[in-house]
Structures are given as C-alpha cells and as structure tokens.
C-alpha cells in the first residue's frame, strides 16, 4: 500500500476549513442580500412616513389652499428635513412647481426628475431617480384639503449613497462575523485533527490498514484458537483455528456479536472481565474436548475493556509432551547409566593397576548380578515397559546423585487399559521421586523408598524420604503452581502431580513432620489391559 501525499491531520484540517468557509460564505451572501433589501425597505418606509406627516400638516394644506402665505412652507419643510434627517423634502402644487427645497434658489421652479406624474394624479408611491441633488430614493404622497380635493404633492428623498453606506455598514458586521467563524472553524479543525491523531496513536490511515492486514494474517495463521470479547462479553474476534475447534465440539454458527457465555458456557471470560486477573495454562472442557487455555484481560487506562482467550486441544499438546518426556527420560537414563558405568570402570582400572585380579573378577560378578537382579525385578513386577524403563532410569539417576533409591512391588502391576494413564503415572512418580531426591540431598541419611501396590483395581503409590520434613504452613503451599523453596522458575512438579491425580480421579495424601521425613501416598483407579473390553 502506497503512502499518501497528505497526512490524516492535514486532510482533516483542510476538509473542515473548506466546509466551514463555504458554509459561512453562502450564509454571508444570503444574509447580505437580505440585509440590503431590508435596509432599502426601512429607508423607504422612513421616507413614506415623513412624506405623510408633511402631507397631513395643516400648515402645508392651508398654504396650498390659499389660506396662508405659501412662503411658510419653505421653513417648515427645512425644519422637518433636519428633524427627520432625510435628503430633501419638496412640496409642489398641482403644476409641479416647487414650494420648498433645500436650495432656496430652486423654490418656484418645476420639479425635476420626471417621476412626479403619478402623484399629481393622486397615487402614492416610491421611485428612484436623479434630480438636482443627485440620484435618490423618492417617496411621493398627494396633499389633499379638508374636502378631499388634491391640492398638491410632497416628495421626500433619501440619498442613494446614504442607503449604500447603511447597507455596507450592515454587511461589514456580517463579514466580521464570517471571518471570526472561519478562524474558529480552523482552530476547531486543528484541535479535532490532533484529537483523532492521538486516538489513532499517531498512525496514518495507510499504516492502520497495513497493521490490520498483518493482524488478520497473523491471527488466521496461528494454530491456537483465539477469541476476543468486549466489556459486554460479546465476541468481537475469532480466528479459523477457534472455529475448527468449535465445530469439532459441536458448536455451530459464527459467534461474532454473540454473548460468549451463551455460545460457550464453559468459558470464564465473563468472570475475567470482573476480576481483571489473567488465568494461564488452565484446562477447559468443551463438550468433551479438553482445551489448554490462557485468558488475559485487555486493559486500557487502568480499565478492563475486554478479554482475549487462546486455547489449543490438549490432546495435541499431550502427544507432543509424551514424545518430549520419552526422549528426556531416555536421555536421562542413558546419561545416568553412562556416568555410573564410568565410575565402575575407574574402580576396575584401579584394581587392575594394583594387581588385584581376583577382586576385579569378584567386583564384576557382583556388579553384573546386582544390575541383573535390579532390572529383572523391575521388569518382572512392572509389565508396562515404558514405566519400567522410566523407573530403571530413575534408579541410575538416584545412584548418580548419591541417594539410595529402593523400589518394591508385592503384586505385579499389569499394563493399563488406557495408554494415556502411563503418561500420567510417569508425571506422578517422576516428580515425586525428583522432589524426594531434592529433599534428602543435604541430609546425612539419603534414602528414598517407592512402593507400588495393586489390589482390586486400585493402584497405591507411596514415596517416602528421609528428608527434613515440612511444617503445616509449608504443606499448605507446596502444591501451588510456581511455589518453590529452591529458587525462581521452579515449583511446577508437585502442581503437575496434583493435576495428573485429579485427571485420573485419584487422591493424594501428604504426611510430613519436621525432622521425620515425608510420605506422599497416591491412590488411583487402575484398569488393567483387556479389562474394559470384557
């Protein structure tokens, strides 16, 4: 996507300014036209009122009727002109001869302008014409005596230049208002552009579009299911991997805009919106499918505005974990046995150098017999080859650590009906033995006893150590995820044990006292191979 020439801020400022300027200019034109028309109308009404006042004046009527000297009209008209602030007041007789005029020399001469004809016929009207004093707006009114007979007329004029000045004055106010409005519009546009820019985190439209494309590609490419909800628990985002898992679990339709609690009742996203606390590596059952889920809140400005859940079918993770566990166990067993074998070779080499060949033969026979009996006992009592190999590896690992590890099993332990049980047993036994080795590491007596007992479809596993033991406070904490007394990035072993026991619907009992060692007892339902088929 090509970068645009203009920034979003510039586009918003220009667009808003143009819109505001056009709106105010059109408003200015409309208002100015109306103001001009209104001003002219007002001046015309003013001239009409003055003309009627003069026309109805007894002095003017008496003078034109011959009852009074006509020379009285001139001073009266001048006083009225000054009082009303009009351009001129001209009183004329029926022949159009002026009886008054601002210029006394014009008195007695015919009215000039050519627009006086209709008023001498009794019509009242306004007109625009050019006379002795220049162009003006004139208002004509007939003068009648007491009997209603027209005896003359009066013309009141207002200079057109004065009208134009009044219109210009009115339009100046409108123009100033328009300019102020445009300036306010520009300021508002700048503030709006900066606000939008801040909301968009300073990103331009092309950058936002690119991020959206990358985000969409990333969400759809990952194998984990991803679901996002808003603060009202409505689904706002779901990727293809999540839809496949939903379809596998029997959930139909697109969940977008639906309530997550109604669509997927086993979710805890709605609760997460209230607590605001992340939930990591939690198991979730979705219509028989076990998911490993991470739920985290979306926090903006110290406020929870949504939540995101990522999840994956635990079966896939379990298969991968089993492969990794098998490789690790095999590698640990080989390393421990190789280390143990090298130590024994050093002993043999030392005795050869000393010439104690009889001792060498005796030592080799004892070592071979002990090894044979140990392997023979484990493989005889534990029929599951994976579990048996794991225990043999732990025996070598314990000897390498200087710990005496004994394994006892009164009755043979058959292979389980469900192969997945083996993985959980390795998790349980392996972490309990590792925990016991760590417990006796600094103790003068370093002994660990592992006992298996299988009776009436119940498998009992006991792991005893001669370690320092634990007080009640520590016993209440050791099963918490991440808790450890051996430093950071530890504390997951016993948590995994509790999860495995819970999955197998078993029971875990801890017995420990300071200075008297610790005993972990695990009781599990155990079906041997072929029993379920029967």
Three-state DSSP string of 106-169: HCCCECCCCCCCHHHHCCCEEEEEEECCEEEEEEEEEEECCCCCEEEEEEEEEEHHHHHHHHHH
Q: Give me the residue label for tokens 């586009």.
A: 11
* pLDDT at position 534: 42
Nearest one of 427, 446, 414 to 494, comparing CA atoms: 427
* pLDDT at position 519: 92
- Reported for 348-352, long-range contacts at CB under 8 A and 24+ positions apart, including other chains, are none
- For the chain, list the domains and their CATH numbers: 12-166 (3.30.450.20), 224-313 (3.30.450.20), 356-525 (3.30.565.10)
Exposed (0-12), middle (13-18) or buried (19+): which is 265, by Cβ within 10 Å?
exposed
Q: What is the mean pLDDT of each run of 10 residues along the chain (534 residues)?
A: 61 76 74 71 86 90 88 90 87 90 88 84 84 74 90 87 67 73 78 76 69 69 80 84 80 81 78 82 77 83 83 65 51 58 66 70 61 71 82 80 86 83 85 88 88 90 90 82 60 79 90 88 86 48
* pLDDT at position 147: 87
For residues 410 and 414, give the distance between their C-alpha atoms in angstroms, rounded to a whole number: 13
* pLDDT at position 340: 59
Q: With helix as H, strand as E and coil as C, how does 60-105 read?
A: HHHHHHCCCCHHHHHHHHHHHHHHHCCCEEEEEECCCEECCCCCHH
* pLDDT at position 372: 56
Provide the pairing of β-strand 447-455 with 458-465.
antiparallel
Name beta bridge partners: 512.
Answer: 518
Could you tell me which residues come within 8 angstroms of residue 450 by beta carbon, excluding any fewer than 6 positions away?
A: 391, 405, 406, 407, 408, 429, 433, 461, 462, 463
Instruction: Give me 32's structure tokens.
Output: 């100015």
Instruction: Give me 458's structure tokens.
Output: 């119940």
Nearest one of 123, 45, 136 to 90, comparing CA atoms: 136
C-alpha angle 256/262/267, rounded to 5°?
90
Residue 461: alpha-carbon gap to chain centroid: 51
- Predicted TM-score (pTM) of the model is 0.41
What does the DSSP assignment read for 456-473? TTEEEEEEEE-S----HH
């Amino acid at each position: 996507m090509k970068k645009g020439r203009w920034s979003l801020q510039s586009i918003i400022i220009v667009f808003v300014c143009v819109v505001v300027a056009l709106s105010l200019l059109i408003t200015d034109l409309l208002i100015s036209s109306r103001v001009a028309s209104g001003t002219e109308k007002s001046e015309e009404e003013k001239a009409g009122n003055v003309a009627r006042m003069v026309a109805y004046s007894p002095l003017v009527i008496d003078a034109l009727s011959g009852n009074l000297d006509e020379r009285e009209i001139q001073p009266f008209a001048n006083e009225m002109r000054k009082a009303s602030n009009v351009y001129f007041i001209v009183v004329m007789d029926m022949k159009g001869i002026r009886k008054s005029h601002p210029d006394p020399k014009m008195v007695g001469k015919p009215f000039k302008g050519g627009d006086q004809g209709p008023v001498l016929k009794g019509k009242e009207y306004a007109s625009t014409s050019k006379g002795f004093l220049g162009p003006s707006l004139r208002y004509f009114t007939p003068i009648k005596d007491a009997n209603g007979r027209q005896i003359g007329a009066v013309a009141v004029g207002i200079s057109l230049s004065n009208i134009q000045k009044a219109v210009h004055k009115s339009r100046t106010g409108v123009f100033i208002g328009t300019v102020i409005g445009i300036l306010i519009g520009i300021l508002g546009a700048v503030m709006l552009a900066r606000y939008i820019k801040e909301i968009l985190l300073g990103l331009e439209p092309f950058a936002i579009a690119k991020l959206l494309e990358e985000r969409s590609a990333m969400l759809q490419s990952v194998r984990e299911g991803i679901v996002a909800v808003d603060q009202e628990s409505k689904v706002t985002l779901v990727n293809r991997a999540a839809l496949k898992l939903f379809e596998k679990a029997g959930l139909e339709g697109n969940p977008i805009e639906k309530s997550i609690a109604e669509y997927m009742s086993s979710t805890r996203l709605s609760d997460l919106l209230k607590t605001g606390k992340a939930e990591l590596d939690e198991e979730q059952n979705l219509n028989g499918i076990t998911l490993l889920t991470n739920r985290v809140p979306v926090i903006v400005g110290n406020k929870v505005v949504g939540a995101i859940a990522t999840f994956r079918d635990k079966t896939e993770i379990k298969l991968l974990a089993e492969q990794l566990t098998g490789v690790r166990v095999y590698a640990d067993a080989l390393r421990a046995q190789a280390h143990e074998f090298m130590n024994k070779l050093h002993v043999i080499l030392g005795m050869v150098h000393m010439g104690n060949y009889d001792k060498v033969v005796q030592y080799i026979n004892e070592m071979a017999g002990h090894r044979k009996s140990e392997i023979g006992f484990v493989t005889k009592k534990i029929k599951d080859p994976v579990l048996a190999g794991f225990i043999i590896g732990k025996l070598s690992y314990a000897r390498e650590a200087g710990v005496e590890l004994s394994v006892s099993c009164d009755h043979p332990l058959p292979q389980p009906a469900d192969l997945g049980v083996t993985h959980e047993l390795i998790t349980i036994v392996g972490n309990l033995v590792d925990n016991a080795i760590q417990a006796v590491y600094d103790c003068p007596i370093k002994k660990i006893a592992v006992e298996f007992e299988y009776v009436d479809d119940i498998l009992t596993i006991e792991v005893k150590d001669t370690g320092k033991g634990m007080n009640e406070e520590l016993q209440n904490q050791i099963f918490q995820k991440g808790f450890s007394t051996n430093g950071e990035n530890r504390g997951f072993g016993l948590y995994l044990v509790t999860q495995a026991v819970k999955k197998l619907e078993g029971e875990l009992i801890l017995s420990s006292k300071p200075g008297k060692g610790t005993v972990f007892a695990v009781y599990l339902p155990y079906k041997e191979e072929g029993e379920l088929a029967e």
